[in-house]
Amino acid sequence: MNDFLMDMIASELEDAVGRENCSTRPIDKLTHSVDYFWLSRMWADRGRRMPEGDFIVSPKNAQETSKVLQIANYYKIPVTTWGGGGGTQGGAIPVCGGILLDTKRMNEIYDVNTNGMYIECGAGAIYKHIEWAANEKGYATMHYPSSLTCSTVGGFLAHRGIGVSSTKYGKIDDMALQMEVVLPNGDIIETSPAPKHAAGPDLNQIFIGSEGTLGIITKAQMRIYEQPESRQFRGFLFHNMTDAFNAGRELLQKFKPSVMRLYDEAETSTLIKKIVGVEKKGAFMNIALEGVKELVDVEHKIMMEIFNKYGAEDLGSEYGEKWWKEKITFFYPGHMMDLPQMFGTMDTIAPYDKIEKIYWEMKKAIETNFPQARFIAHFSHWYEWGCMIYDRFIVDKENVPEDPHEALRLHNAIWNCGVRTAIANGGVVNDHHGVGIKLGRLMKEQYGPAMQVFEGMKKQLDPNGIMNPFKLGL
Ligand SMILES: Cc1cc2nc3c(=O)[nH]c(=O)nc-3n(C[C@H](O)[C@H](O)[C@H](O)COP(=O)(O)OP(=O)(O)OC[C@H]3O[C@@H](n4cnc5c(N)ncnc54)[C@H](O)[C@@H]3O)c2cc1C
């Protein structure tokens, strides 16, 4: 695009959001070009520049967002939404340039409504901030992902995120009551005032997980909960994963713990040993029970009976409490893998009849085809019908190609191998990190002809194809 047209568009955007909220400065473009996607960080690490937006624009509300989208539609330039930039799938990277719309000015907390049990806030609010607002009134959001302090309400909704207490309180899609969304043509809509209804398909669920490809979420009502009267932890050690799965499934037919996390032997003997202090061999499981004390006591009794039956060693409450205190430490420097290592989390989800096979097949496929890679896993989010694998591959620095093109090839080949193995064995391409540009190519393999449902919605809502191009396989 020529300089003259660039300046014309910039002046229109400045008119829409205020000159101070529209930047074309190189530093702002640079800092909005690398998210937590390994490839974007590797690319920058090798001295290369990731694709950048031409205009970094920060609207204050839905009305300003609407004006930005109308300008983008007129000039047919791409719009990529950026929340906290904490996504792992390259979803917020402006791969085709154009407008980078940063939501963080939309961070107002409008209402902590203890009558309706929700908090209403701008989608650019950092989740920790809405947690504090709920805490001030004696309530809690119960959404505790490890990125609580760096990712936004809109980002979690757009990627269908999840926190550590998900087994009792649900995923982000269980926590949203109502949303305000700006459609690609600039129309501002609200989803229905209550999420469980029979007034047609659920609009919330069309925009949750849509990764900024169908519209921009500008406001949301998120559920809040009473603080639990009692929260008790218990650590267990299983001899093998099969016993742990059977015990977990049986427990979930009776009641729901808040935290339920099982580590394979490899993670138990490394991360759990280092951070939580468990020195023993086996598969470590941490459980948190919470709510009204009398109910928690009953749940505790039932849990001990079931876990006893499967030969679990009771490690008491100490390790579980330590785990809760250190739950974010797992991601601190020195504990979390980082460049120059190559790594990735291929979270997948499946019913209990498939999940253990998926784990072993993925481990075999990755470690056989890529002997330079290690595969470790834990199982973080459990339901009555199945659970998810938080499975990671790690390639140590001496085996990571220095050439960025070769590093990209190896990275994508490992991902293809792992995710295709998961799909072939009945898993889903991703559980809670989303798709972004990282996994877009695998969406058609997951959905087959069902992909036309998403493509049809995209075509209808965004006929000019300006919204976050090449993400979500769209
Ligand atoms: C250390 C670490 C730990 C993590 N732990 C967890 C975890 O426990 N659970 C979990 O779920 N995730 C976790 N993540 C991943 C990340 O926090 C989530 O993917 C989160 O949803 C990203 O939110 P964000 O605001 O950072 O979004 P961004 O990275 O800015 O954007 C993510 C995607 O959402 C779109 N988007 C953002 N805002 C909007 C909006 N308002 N409307 C429409 N589209 C929008 C973007 O275009 C992009 O496609 C972790 C990340 C890190 C770095």
Mean pLDDT of all residues belonging to the chain: 97
Whether residue 66 has pLDDT greater than 90: yes
Element (H, E) at 120: strand 118-122
Helices 404-424 & 440-447, crossing angle to 10 degrees? 20
* Atom of ligand 1 minimally distant from the CA of 215: 43
Spatial distance between the Cα atoms of 266 and 282, rounded to a whole number of angstroms:
9
How many CA atoms are closer than 13 Å to the CA of 178, on its beta-carbon side? Answer: 14
Residue 333: the pLDDT is 84
Candidates 138, 153, 311, 160; CA nearest to 228 is 138
Residue 50: the pLDDT is 98
Q: Using omega within 30 degrees of 0 as the cis cutoff, is the peptide bond preceding 371 cis?
A: no
Q: How far is the CA of 401 from the centre of ligand 1 (A)?
A: 28
- Over residues 169-227, the pLDDT tens digits come to 999 999 999 999 999 999 999 999 999 999 999 999 999 999 999 999 999 999 999 99
Q: Record the tokens describing residue 158, joined without a space.
A: 């757009």
Residue 271: the pLDDT is 87
Residue 99: the pLDDT is 98
Residue 330: the pLDDT is 83
Residue 433: the pLDDT is 98
Q: Find the angle CA(452)-CA(457)-CA(460) to the nearest 5 degrees.
A: 120
Q: What is the largest CA-CA distance in the chain?
A: 74
Q: Which residue's C-alpha comes closest to atom 8 of ligand 1? A: 145
Residue 336: the pLDDT is 85
- Over residues 309-367, the pLDDT tens digits come to 999 999 999 999 999 998 888 888 888 899 999 999 999 999 999 999 999 999 999 99
Q: Record the tokens describing residue 199, joined without a space.
A: 């007034």
Q: How far is the CA of 149 from the centre of ligand 1 (A)?
A: 11
Residue 448's φ and ψ, nearest 5 degrees, are: 60, -140
Spatial distance between the Cα atoms of 169 and 224, rounded to a whole number of angstroms:
10
- Over residues 218-252, the pLDDT tens digits come to 999 999 999 999 999 999 999 999 999 999 999 99
Q: How far is the CA of 212 from the centre of ligand 1 (A)?
A: 11
Report whether 337 contacts 394 (CB < 8 A).
yes
Whether residue 122 has pLDDT greater than 90: yes
Average pLDDT over residues 88-105: 98
Residue 334: the pLDDT is 82
* Atom of ligand 1 minimally distant from the CA of 80: 47
Average pLDDT over residues 261-282: 93
Among 96, 128, 151, 169, the mutation site with the greatest number of ligand 1 atoms within 8 A of its Cβ is 151
* CA separation, residue 120 to residues 123, 128, 177, 188 (Å): 9, 14, 10, 17
Average pLDDT over residues 99-106: 98
Q: Record the tokens describing residue 280, joined without a space.
A: 């023993």
Q: Record the tokens describing residue 20, joined without a space.
A: 């101070």
Spatial distance between the Cα atoms of 275 and 176, rounded to a whole number of angstroms:
33
Q: How far is the CA of 457 from the centre of ligand 1 (A)?
A: 22
Task: Return the percentage of the chain with pLDDT > 90, whole number.
Answer: 97
Q: How far is the CA of 36 from the centre of ligand 1 (A)?
A: 9
Q: How far is the CA of 57 from the centre of ligand 1 (A)?
A: 19
* Atom of ligand 1 minimally distant from the CA of 83: 30
pTM value is 0.98
Give residues (CB < 6 A) around ligand 1. Answer: 35-36, 80-88, 91-92, 103, 123, 145-147, 151-152, 154-156, 158-159, 161-162, 211-212, 216-217, 331, 432-434, 436, 468, 471
How many CA atoms are closer than 13 Å to the CA of 369, on its beta-carbon side? Answer: 16
Spatial distance between the Cα atoms of 53 and 469, rounded to a whole number of angstroms:
13
Average pLDDT over residues 91-112: 98
Average pLDDT over residues 435-444: 98
Residues contacting 385, CB < 8 A, separation 6+? 351, 352
Residue 467: the pLDDT is 98
Q: How far is the CA of 86 from the centre of ligand 1 (A)?
A: 5
Chain centre to alpha carbon of residue 173: 11
Helices 451-461 & 440-447, crossing angle to 10 degrees? 120
